Every structure is written in C-alpha cells, then in structure tokens.
Amino acid sequence: MKLTHTLALAALLPFAVSLATAQEVPPERLLNAASEPGSWLLHHGGYDGQRHSDLTQITPENVGQLDLQWIWQVRSAAGAAQKFEATPLLVDGVLYTVSPPNDVVALDPKTGRVFWTYPYTPSPDARVCCGRVNRGLAIHGTTLFMGAIDGHLLAIDALSGQLKWDVTVADATLGYSLTVAPLVIDDKVIVGPAGGEYGIRGFLVAYNVETGEEEWRFNLVPGPGEAGFESWADPAQEAYKTGGGSIWTTGTYDPELNLMYWGVGNPGPDWNGDSRPGDNLYTESVVALNPDTGELAWHYQYTPHDEMDYDSTQVQVLADIEFEGAQRKVLMTANRNGVFYVIDRTNGEFLLAKPFVAVNWVDGWDEKGRPNQVLAPSEEGTFIMPNNQGATNWYPPSFSPVTGLFYVPSWLDTYSVYTKRPVTYTAGQQYVGAFPTMAMPALGVRPVNQRIPEDGFGAIQAIDPKTGDIVWRHEMTDVTDSGVLSTASNLVFGGGREGFFYALDARTGQELWRENLGGQVASGPISYEIEGKQYIAVNAGGAMFVFALPE
Amino acid sequence: MILQNFRKALLGSAAVLLLCSSGAGAQEHSYAPSDIENGRGLYQANCLGCHGNNGDSVEGANLASGRFRRASSDEDLMAIIRNGIPETLMIPRPQLSYGDLRSLVAFLRTMQSGGVQTAQDEAEVTIGDAVRGAELFFGSADCSSCHGVNGGGTRLHPDLAGIGSQRSAFVLQQSILDPRAVVREGQRFYQVTAKDGTTVAGKLLNQDTHSVQLMNEQEKLVSFRKEDLESHGVIPTPMPAYLDVLSATDVADLVAYLLSLTTEQAP
C-alpha cells in the first residue's frame, strides 16, 4: 500500500512541476514579469503599462487560422450599466477575472471551466456614474485584491476563493466607488476611488497586503497646508472638499526610479469651474509618487482648470526610447483631451504634445508644457472637440518596443456643446453642471448604429512617439471601448462596439483576421501560453472569448 | 428666409398658443414653457449623461417616446426619478424638489429630437382646426399614403399615433415645411449601389464597418456587405417639403390634427 502511494506521487510529480505550479506570486515575480511572457501577472501585463506580449507563436502569417477555444459567460445579464471590462490575470494555470459588478472567478485557461467563484454583492448604496463595472484584479503571493463599486477593497485567497480581509476605502453614500484594478508593489496594495461626478475628494492609498492596514495616503486634491493647495483659489477655501481627482485606471511603475505614475481624473464640478478658480491640482495631471511613502516626486498637469471632464486617467505608459537623438526614460499617454504626450519620467520634463484627433480647445503649449486653452463652456453653449467622452477613455492602449509605435483606440471627429449652468453640492448626488450634448452615445448600449460619419467614428491609431505623428489608422464605422494588445510578432489585437474582434499588422494597420463576437468588445485583450500553446483572450458583451491556433 | 417670412405671416394671424394640447393619454396636463425650460436644465444636469440628448441612449427606456415601462402617470414618473431604480445607475435623487420633479416630467413629456426649439419658437406656431387637418391628412394633402395613424401607411415611415404627446407644435410644423431640417436617427434613408450599377434605397436600420442593414422600398429587410458595393451612403429623406405646396392655413390645420394625436392605442 505504501509502495503504491509513493509510486503514485512519483508519477504525479513531473506533471505537477510541468504546470509551473507555484501558483504564488511574490513581488519578485511581478518585478520580472517580462521574463515569463506566458503569464499575465499584472493588470497591464507588466509594470510599464505597455500591454505588449513577447509571445510569437501567432504571427501575421498564421493569425488567419485562429480558432475559438472556449467561451465563458458571466452569470449576470450584461446591460448598459454592467459591461464586462475586467482584464484577467493568468497565474500558473489559473485565469482570474471579475464578472460585473464584483464576482471574482478562477477559471481553467485551457477549457474555461470554473475552479471557484467568490460572489460579492455590493451595498445598494453604491453609486457610479458610468457603469457597475470592475477593471480587474491584482495578486500578491496567494492573495487576490479587488476593489468593489461600494468602496470596499477585498483580499481573497487565490486558491480557495475565500475572503481574507475587507476594508472600507471610502464612503459609497458620498459617491466614492472602486472600479480600478489595484496595483501591488512590494508588500503594498494601492488603489484610489472613482466618483469624479459626485464631488468626491480623490486620493491614493496603500494598504499592507497581509493585514489590510493603511500604510500611507496621498491627497490628489490637496488641502490647507499641503503643497498645491494654492491652486484652489476660491476665497472661502471650500472648493477642495469636493474637488474631484478620481482614479479609475491602474498606475504604472518604474522599479529603478522607484516611482509610480497615476493619471488623475476631473475636478468637481465637471462643467462649471466658477466655484473652483485656479489650476485645481492634481486633477487632470500625472503624479509621480514613491510607492514606499506616497511622497510626490513631480507632477505634470495636462488640462489646468478643466471644464470639459477630460479626466487624465488614461494609462501612463513607460518606455525607454530615443527622443531627439538621446536615449530617454519617457512616459507616454494618449489623453482623453485629444492630445498625445511624451514626458521625461525621471523629472516630469515636458517633451512633446500633439493632438491625435480633431481638437479645438487648445492652440499650443509653452516650453514648460502649459497649454494655451482657447475654449470653455459658456451659458449659450460652446462647440468643443473632442466630445465629453473624449478622444479615448478608460480602455487601455499598448506600446510595442518592436515597432516603437504607440497604439491607441480613438474616437475621431467627435464634439460636444458644453453649456455652463449653476450647480450646487448635495452629498451623495451628482455634482457636475450641465451634461454636454453629443451625437455619440456615451455608453454605447443600443445595438444599432444609424449615425452618419459627421457624428464621429472610431479607429485604432498607431502613433510614433518620437514625433506624435499618426503612422496608420484602422477605421471603424462605430466608436470603440476596446483596449488593444500588441505582440512581438507584429500583431495588434483590438475591437469595438460593433462586436468585431480583429488582428492588425502592427506595422501597417492592415486587418489580417476578424471575428464577430456578437456583443461590444469593452475590455483589454491579453495573451498567455499554456503547454506551449499561445492563447488570446478578450471580453465581448457578457462573455470571455479565447482563441488559439488549431492543433 | 422663406421659412422666416412664412412664420411671420403665421404670427400675424394671432392664433391661440398652446404648447401641447391637453387630452387623454400619457400626458396629463399642459406644461408651462418655464417648467419645460427648467426641466431641460435639470435633465442636462441629472439625466443626459446616461439617457443621451434624445432620451434614447438607454436600451428599453426611450424617454422621448412618451411611453414608460414603469410609469404611466406623472406622479409615477416623479416617484421613479426621486426614488431611483435599485441595482441600476438610476440612483435616488432626494434633493430634487417637487417643483424640480414636475419640471423634469414636463420636459420629458415634451422631449424633442435635439431639444433645440425654444419657447419663442413655439410662440410663433399657429395651430388651426384639427378636424379640417384630419381631412387634409387623409385627403388632398395625402399624408396617409406614407404615414399611418394606428396602422395604415407604410413600414418605411413613422406611424403618427401619439405624436402629439411626443413633439411640440414647432417641431411638427418644421417637419411639414422643411422635413430635411431635422432627420432623426431611425428615420435616415440610405442608398447602396452594387458593382453592376443596380441601386437599392431604404430606411437605414443598422450598419457596421463591413455591412449595412436596410428596409428596402418593398418593405423587406435586406443586408449588404460593403465589399460588394460600388458606393453607399445616407440620402435625403423622401418626405417632400410642403412649404410651397400647402397654404399657411392648411399647415396650421395639419399641426392641430397632429397635436390631437395624443392617444396611443395598442396595435
């Protein structure tokens, strides 16, 4: 009997090892995520936010043969308010994702079968402007972290699906919510709340991964005595209390500089800035913080005193590139305000700003990078491009070190009429002004498109960060809420509201393969490898679709 | 310019002004222009973000249709706005006063495509004799060969039952005099030309990057792959302009008839 048992164990052992069964992600693995391209350990793939996969089995030559491997459907109906936006994690044979609004699921990445689910019912107090959504998870060791739309941060055991701890990050009844995928650095898990339409006062906060104890907090809207408070110049010194500055996409991190980079949302109220004179730091900015202490190293403000709701939360993508003849450590972002930026991430030096869609609110920048803003909302209404949803939004871009190009899902030729109306603050209620009118529906939930091109349209655009020039553009009839993924074999995967998911040639934008997934693609695709086979996963409608080459 | 002159001529006739006629149906009252205007502002601040300019951005809740799944009376509507709908983005709004709620409902009940007309525009619309308008509609003006009222007409053109609850006098008048001025989504016409030169026109139902779906002139559902087409695109609405066709009195009577169509019966 004993002998049999030993034999059985011995027989199992090689199999177990071949699965890379650590199923545990210490901080060193996150730092070296690039060394294991078969995994997807961080929300953006790596700390640099590039969403670029080094897997090369699927190529421009064979991508046309991609085959559906499995589909996993969420339990809840995916309606207007509940898009399936989460980017999954792939850790040692387990795929983790979040079914909207806040159910955590562990799946077999080869078959789509469920290992476990952790159902979480958010408090009915949860109030979100733009969807009961979740963008994904973070992992440390064997613990997953999820922010919930009711302002809670949960730590869940990655193997059993059991709750480890649950902290209240912010008060849901005041409009604070968590939609962002947390960022784990060393022994801290870092998040910030959404709620820029509810008069929140934004912050970033770090918790100890083991205990859930708060380690530091950085106010994204500084108060009395804090640097930057002078940019809130109302005589009563009240505006900062409802000053906005939300967080809803995950920051990036440079371990060498030990700085992390977060894009910060709009000031409150959104569309009438009369009550908040000044630049309104650190709204509409990128902040570079030390993750150990939460100390600010530098900031750059994309849209000072914003009145167009151009949240600057888009991913701050990190790369080392040659710029004007010198090798530079840069940060690149395609901003909702319609402008592509390149910034020196060591010190915040402004290097380049160039519109990537039709833009009329700015007509230039001074040498420090301060924009010359020429339009603002008015009582009679002001026609401003891009529209209120912006040139791009929460859905992530990618950067390919192979082509050196930045790929961004874009809304082109959109506009809004911004009307300034009086606004008063009521706790827990929207604190915005008048919603700008726009031809393009914000949420895109109607299954038909009867618009004309003059109303705007979507595209994936490839930008050369050295110049800001558009190198190619893949146009769609409708706009897109799909992120993109680039691969080392020169593919770019993306999609849009029409439900098409496709592969483009990263060098030319030529479409090489597409599939109609029957629901809008509203997530960032990922790639992973299991037992030598490369997979591509993406959410569309209320389901996750996974593709690979035929055997 | 011609339209301007026409409107001035209409003004001279010193007609009685009504924003929306009262009557049976979803709408319970006439609404004061100031309430509608106030409601427009409240809509922009509270509702437009999700429901959109035209009130039709949320699937299954076309606010401009005058029909509401969860509400029939104005009081029902006000309760929903105040209390919200659980587990949706429709949060409670206890800060809205009774007056605010009443204004919002006034705006919803009179929502227009684009919401561009003003009380001043409304004041310039003459409303004539609805009985004579009905005679024109089904008789010499021949509206009924395209438009049904609770049936009749064709599937290509909107049935006008209930239109009096959904459109203001100004918008109705504009739709008769200058139908190309505002063409709503859902009423756009589209033409495709195949590579062999044959053309098909119809109402645009849907489109994507690679295909387009129409109701053709024979009222059949047809779909085309764009790669098979020589050209394709939106064409002007087939509705003729009646500015130089109908007299000012005829137009006023037709407007009066359309405004009277406030009862929407189940088909």
At A96-141, the pLDDT tens digits run 999 999 999 999 999 999 999 999 999 988 888 888 899 999 999 9
Mark yes or no for CB contact A450/B205 under 8 Å: yes
Tokens of B153: 């007409």
Residue A33 β-bridge partners:
none
Cβ contacts (< 8 Å) between A131 and chain B: which residues? 89
Residue B18: predicted pLDDT: 30
Residue of B145, B122, B123, B143 lying closest to B134 (CA atoms)? B143
List the strands of the sheet with A183-185, edge to edge. A183-185, A188-191, A203-208, A214-219
CA dist., res. B113 & res. A312, Å (int):
32
pLDDT in tens, A330-375: 999 999 999 999 999 999 999 999 999 999 999 999 999 999 999 9
Helices (H) and strands (E) in chain A, counts: 2, 38
Residue B233: predicted pLDDT: 95
Residue A310 has pLDDT above 90, yes or no: yes
Say which of A435, A442, A475 has its CB closest to residue B45. A435
Mark yes or no for CB contact A432/B45 under 8 Å: yes
State mean pLDDT over B86-113.
Answer: 80
Q: What φ, ψ does residue A411 adopt, rounded to 5°?
A: -105, 120
Q: Which helix (H) or strand (E) holds A300?
A: strand A296-301
Helices B248-260 and B130-138, interaxial angle, to 10°? Answer: 100
Q: Are A539 and A528 in contact (CB under 8 A)?
A: no
A131 touches chain B (CB under 8 A): yes
Mark yes or no for CB contact B95/A443 under 8 Å: no
Pairing of strands A339-344, A485-487: unpaired
Residue B22 has pLDDT above 80, yes or no: no
Pairing of strands A52-53, A485-487: parallel
List the strands of the sheet with A326-334, edge to edge. A317-323, A326-334, A339-344, A350-355
Residue A267: predicted pLDDT: 98
Which are the contacts of A9, defined by CB distance < 8 A and separation ≥ 6? none
Residue A146 β-bridge partners:
A154
Residue A394: predicted pLDDT: 97
Which are the contacts of A68, defined by CB distance < 8 A and separation ≥ 6? A515, A545, A546, A547
Residue B111: predicted pLDDT: 74
B-chain residue closest to A431, CA distance: B45
Mark yes or no for CB contact B93/A429 under 8 Å: yes
Residue B29: predicted pLDDT: 54
Residue A11: predicted pLDDT: 47
pLDDT in tens, A402-434: 999 999 999 999 999 999 988 999 998 889 888
Checking phi first, is residue A49 left (phi over 0); if not, alpha (psi -120 to 50) or beta? left
User: pLDDT confidence of B15, banded at 50, 70, 90?
Assistant: very low
DSSP-derived secondary structure for B49-77:
HHH-TTS--STT--GGGS-BTTBSSHHHH
In this structure, chain A runs to a length of 551
Cβ contacts (< 8 Å) between A266 and chain B: which residues? none
Say which of A80, A421, A446 has its CB closest to residue B41. A421
Helices B33-46 and B98-109, interaxial angle, to 10°? Answer: 100
Residue B120 has pLDDT above 90, yes or no: no
Residue B92: predicted pLDDT: 82
A254 has catalytic annotation: no
B-chain residue closest to A514, CA distance: B210
Residue B19 has pLDDT above 60, yes or no: no
pTM, rounded to two decimals: 0.86
Residue A189 three-state SS: strand
A80 touches chain B (CB under 8 A): yes
Residue A334: predicted pLDDT: 98
- Name the residue with higher pLDDT: B69 or B168: B168
Residue B87: predicted pLDDT: 72
Residue B35 has pLDDT above 90, yes or no: no
A-chain residue closest to B86, CA distance: A124
Least Cα separation, residue A361 to chain B (angstroms): 21
Tell me the percentage of chain A whose pLDDT exceeds 70: 95
A434 touches chain B (CB under 8 A): yes
B-chain residue closest to A458, CA distance: B209
Cβ contacts (< 8 Å) between B88 and chain A: which residues? 81
Helices (H) and strands (E) in chain B, counts: 10, 5
User: pLDDT confidence of A8, banded at 50, 70, 90?
Assistant: very low
Residue A233 has pLDDT above 50, yes or no: yes
Residue B113: predicted pLDDT: 41
Mark yes or no for CB contact B89/A475 under 8 Å: no
Q: Are A473 and A411 in contact (CB under 8 A)?
A: no
User: pLDDT confidence of A1, banded at 50, 70, 90?
Assistant: very low
Which are the contacts of A241, defined by CB distance < 8 A and separation ≥ 6? A201, A223
DSSP-derived secondary structure for A236-292:
TS-GGGG-B----S--EEETTTTEEEEE---BSSSS--TTS-S--TTTTEEEEE-TT
A419 touches chain B (CB under 8 A): yes
Query: A193: cis peptide before it, omega within 30°?
Result: no
A432 touches chain B (CB under 8 A): yes
Checking phi first, is residue A404 left (phi over 0); if not, alpha (psi -120 to 50) or beta? left
Say which of A124, A419, A499 has its CB closest to residue B86. A124
- Name the residue with higher pLDDT: B242 or B121: B242
Mean pLDDT check: name the lowest of A17-26, B169-178, B208-217. A17-26
Q: What φ, ψ does residue A301 adopt, rounded to 5°?
A: -100, 120
Residue B66: predicted pLDDT: 66
State mean pLDDT over A132-156.
Answer: 97
Mark yes or no for CB contact A429/B45 under 8 Å: no
Which are the contacts of A124, defined by CB distance < 8 A and separation ≥ 6? B86, B87
Which are the contacts of A551, defined by CB distance < 8 A and separation ≥ 6? none
Residue A326 has pLDDT above 60, yes or no: yes
Say which of A438, A446, A499 has its CB closest to residue B59. A446
Give chain A's mean pLDDT: 94
Tokens of B236: 């002007």
Size of interface A-B (CB pairs under 8 A): 94
Mark yes or no for CB contact A129/B206 under 8 Å: no
Cβ contacts (< 8 Å) between A442 and chain B: which residues? 49-50, 52, 57
A443 touches chain B (CB under 8 A): yes
Residue A163: predicted pLDDT: 97
- Spell out the alpha helix ranges (H) of chain B: 2-12, 33-46, 48-51, 74-83, 98-109, 119-123, 130-138, 163-166, 169-177, 248-260
Mark yes or no for CB contact A81/B89 under 8 Å: yes
Residue A4: predicted pLDDT: 46
* Amino acid, res. A185: I
Report the sign of the C-alpha dihedral through residues A464, A465, A470, A473, in that order: positive
Mark yes or no for CB contact B209/A500 under 8 Å: yes
Q: Pseudo-torsion of CA B84, B89, B93, B99, nearest 10°?
A: -80
Least Cα separation, residue A128 to chain B (angstroms): 7
Cβ contacts (< 8 Å) between A420 and chain B: which residues? none
pLDDT in tens, A167-195: 999 999 999 999 999 999 999 999 999 99
Tokens of A386: 């891009």
User: pLDDT confidence of B163, banded at 50, 70, 90?
Assistant: confident
CA dist., res. A134 & res. A87, Å (int):
9
Q: Which of A317-321, B50-54, B173-177 has the highest mean pLDDT?
A: A317-321
Mark yes or no for CB contact B44/A421 under 8 Å: yes
Mark yes or no for CB contact B50/A498 under 8 Å: no
Cβ contacts (< 8 Å) between B118 and chain A: which residues? none
Give chain B's mean pLDDT: 80
Tokens of B15: 């007609």
Mark yes or no for CB contact B209/A477 under 8 Å: yes
Least Cα separation, residue B29 to chain A (angstroms): 27
Mark yes or no for CB contact A449/B206 under 8 Å: yes
Residue A26: predicted pLDDT: 96
Checking phi first, is residue B170 left (phi over 0); if not, alpha (psi -120 to 50) or beta? alpha
User: pLDDT confidence of B119, banded at 50, 70, 90?
Assistant: low
Mean pLDDT check: name the lowest of A53-57, A240-244, B99-103, B214-218. B99-103
Q: Is B79 exposed, middle or buried (CB count within 10 Å of its CB: 0-12, 13-18, 19+)? A: middle
CA dist., res. B75 & res. B65, Å (int):
18
Residue B25: predicted pLDDT: 34
- Name the residue with higher pLDDT: A314 or A452: A314
Residue B218 has pLDDT above 80, yes or no: yes
A-chain residue closest to B190, CA distance: A450
CA dist., res. A249 & res. A315, Å (int):
7
Say which of B46, B86, B188 has its CB closest to residue A450. B188
State mean pLDDT over A316-323.
Answer: 98
Residue B70: predicted pLDDT: 75
Out of A254, A270, A309, A478, the active site residue is A309
* Amino acid, res. B57: S
Residue B176: predicted pLDDT: 96
